[in-house]
Amino acid sequence: MGTQYTLRFVNNSQVTAQACVYQTDPDIGVPGVMSVAWFAKGAAPTTRIAFSWEIDYSFVWSEIGTLAAGVMFDASQVWDADLSATNQVTFTHEGGIYTFENQHSGPHPGSLYVLEDSKLPHNQAAVGIGVSGRPAYVVQAMPNWNLCFTPKPKYWITFGNFDEGEVLDVQSISHKAEIQFQPNIYSMTAILNPDNSWTVKPTSEVNALFLAARGRGQDVRWGQLE
């Protein structure tokens, strides 16, 4: 078992919508890669929810058709991978059936390699990598193309009309907050404030603020900073 990370979300706004967690990585190394709504849960005002994960990788694919923002990526196969011993796989379309095969150690540790063979049709499937068993980054599959993912992710949260597994146009998401896990910090809290601004703090700090407010005799909910 790896280290567990937790992100808590507190909805102090007046809006009911979906809290969506996703990843970006400008240096991942694959042209045309798109982020997927990694987690998404509905949250009404005053609601608190939590997302937890471990940083373990996988290969994923879906017969999605043309890859574009808004389409749903439902992984048909999820093959566990690591960044050294099982970091390369072949994606093929044999006898009308998509599948991964021939998983083994790739050329260099620290990256994940997908070899797309000549049998793959154009614009019919997407392939990528998952984190903690959920799709995170995907790209349109093409015949005779080799992919090298080098993940160094940034984590983000947004709030709006999102579904888990939805392919995202991250450039169009403006109402978001970055979640930065500092060394030896594994639990963060993102608070959507009454004015719809974001406050992001380690959960230990939110606990301390709550206890201090209660110590002053204030009748506040956990995560209510104003």
- Model confidence at 14, in pLDDT bands (50, 70, 90)? very high
Which residues have C-beta within 8 Å of that of residue 83, sequence separation ≥ 6? 57, 109, 110, 111, 112
pLDDT of residue 226: 66
Q: What is the pLDDT of residues 150-209, one digit of tens each?
A: 999 999 999 999 999 999 999 999 999 999 999 999 999 999 999 999 999 999 999 999
CA distance 178 to 200: 8
Q: What mean pLDDT is reported for the chain? A: 95
Listed residue (59, 89, 63) closest to 74, CA to CA: 63
A 10 A CB-CB count for 165 gives 18
pLDDT of residue 1: 59
Beta bridge partners of 78: 60
- Give CA 100 to chain center in angstroms: 22
pTM of the model: 0.94
List the chain domain ranges. 4-156+163-171
Q: What is the pLDDT of residues 29-86, one digit of tens each?
A: 899 999 999 999 999 999 999 999 999 999 999 999 999 999 999 999 999 999 999 9
Which two tokens mark 117? Answer: 């063979």
